[in-house]
Amino acid sequence: MNGPGLLRTIKDDLRRWTSLPLSLWGRVDVLKMNVLPRLTYIISSIPLQIPQYWFQEINTIFSQFTWKDRKPRINHKKLSMPRRTGGLGVPNLYLYYLSYNARFPIVWGYGATLKKANWDSLEGQIITENNKSISLNSLWYSPKSNLNNP
């Protein structure tokens, strides 16, 4: 199924499920367990450039379902924060898109020399091979964290 057809199916499903007696957390879990896998399959299969308005439309669909077609009471950015930091963990599909598409250039560039597929070994291998003091954490789309302090 292609992207617009999938989006239409997801809209129809969420429209049917809006009337279900789910809590706010239950609605977020429906997005995570049912809708997110369908969308990530499309964006992870082929490295395509997806326009920004598509992600905005997805966020609108998520917001309408989360708030039962009422006016949102909490900003989507705050809802997208992880639960441990006060958010509800609503999926941010754009961040998934960036991470899936970052993997292709890395595999193409270092595919023959990769020993493991985890980020720690990959980052260490890139630093030692190139003898540079860079890390994958320094990329512009990576969340900033202090790796020196445990």
Model pLDDT for residues 37-59, shown as the tens digit of each residue:
999 888 888 777 888 888 999 99
**pLDDT for residue 1:** 47
Q: Would you say residue 111 lies in a domain?
A: no
Q: In the chain, pLDDT over 90 holds for what percent of residues?
A: 20
- The answer to whether residue 24 sits within a structural domain is yes
Report percent pLDDT > 70 for the chain.
69
* Predicted TM-score of the model (pTM): 0.66
Q: Is residue 123 situated within a structural domain?
A: no
- With bands split at pLDDT 50, 70 and 90, how would you rate the model's confidence at 141? very low
Q: How many other CB atoms are found less than 10 A from the CB of residue 27?
A: 21
- Asked which of 25-34, 60-69, 122-131, 140-149 is least confident by mean pLDDT, the reply is 140-149
Residues in the chain: 150
Residue 34 has pLDDT above 90, yes or no: yes
pLDDT at 87: 84
**Which is more confident, 118 or 49?**
49
| Gap between the terminal Cα atoms of the chain | 45
**Residue 60 placed within a domain:** yes
At residue 84, the pLDDT reads 85
**Residues whose CB falls within 8 Å of the CB of residue 14, separated by 6 or more in sequence, listed in order:** 35, 61, 64, 65
Domain that holds residue 10: 3-94
Residue 51 lies in a domain: yes
In a domain, 58, yes or no: yes
Please state the rounded mean pLDDT for residues 90-109.
81
Report yes or no on 87 lying in a domain. Answer: yes
47 or 11, which is more confident: 11
Give how far the C-alpha of residue 48 lies from the chain's centroid of Cα atoms, to the nearest Å. Answer: 15
**Is 35 part of any domain?**
yes
Q: Domain count for the chain, please give it.
A: 1
Q: Tell me what the mean pLDDT of segment 80-97 comes to.
A: 87
